[in-house]
């Protein structure tokens, strides 16, 4: 699969502030973009997805923005809490040679929330 990358490996924010985690992708054919959260000692957990025909999607305290012109994806977390401390992965869902779809994950950004 093609690469999915992140701009920053670690992001430190104050509790209560908003967090923005960025991701660059390279596969224009991807039809879904997804964010996962991985807490220490656990497997990744699905947060939110956005289809390629959308540019914004909101969830509970989270917003994902998709800019297809510059192939950029971001996750915004409002009023960041200590429980948001984790590694965040962006992923793209694209077609393999067999026609099946698979996720390609980025390398992750660690979010540290300071009290």
Q: Which is nearest to 32 in space by CA: 57, 56, 49, 55?
A: 49
The values of phi and psi at residue 80, to 5°, are -55, 135
Neighbours of 3 (CB within 10 A): 12
Residue list 68-97, contact with another protein (CB under 8 A):
89, 91, 93, 96
Q: Does 43 bind another protein (CB under 8 A)?
A: yes
Binding piece for another protein, criterion CB under 8 A, among 12-20, 40-48, 52-60, 65-73: 40-48
Instruction: Examine residue 60 and tell whether it contacts another protein (CB under 8 A).
Output: no
What are the Cα distances from residue 97, in Å, to 2, 26, 93, 101? Answer: 12, 17, 13, 9
One of 42, 70, 83, 115 touching another protein (CB under 8 A): 42
Residues in binding contact with another protein, number by CB under 8 A: 25
Query: By CB under 8 A, is residue 62 in contact with another protein?
Result: no
């Amino acid at each position: 699969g093609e690469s999915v990358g992140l701009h920053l490996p670690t992001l430190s924010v104050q509790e209560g502030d908003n967090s923005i985690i960025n991701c660059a992708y390279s596969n224009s054919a991807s039809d879904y973009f997804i964010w996962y959260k991985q807490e220490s000692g656990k497997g990744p957990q699905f947060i939110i997805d956005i289809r390629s025909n959308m540019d914004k999607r909101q969830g509970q305290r989270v917003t994902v923005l998709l800019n297809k012109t510059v192939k950029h994806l971001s996750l915004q977390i409002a009023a960041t809490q200590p429980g948001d401390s984790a590694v965040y992965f962006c992923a793209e869902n694209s077609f393999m040679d067999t026609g099946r779809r698979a996720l390609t994950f980025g390398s992750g950004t660690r979010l540290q929330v300071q009290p």
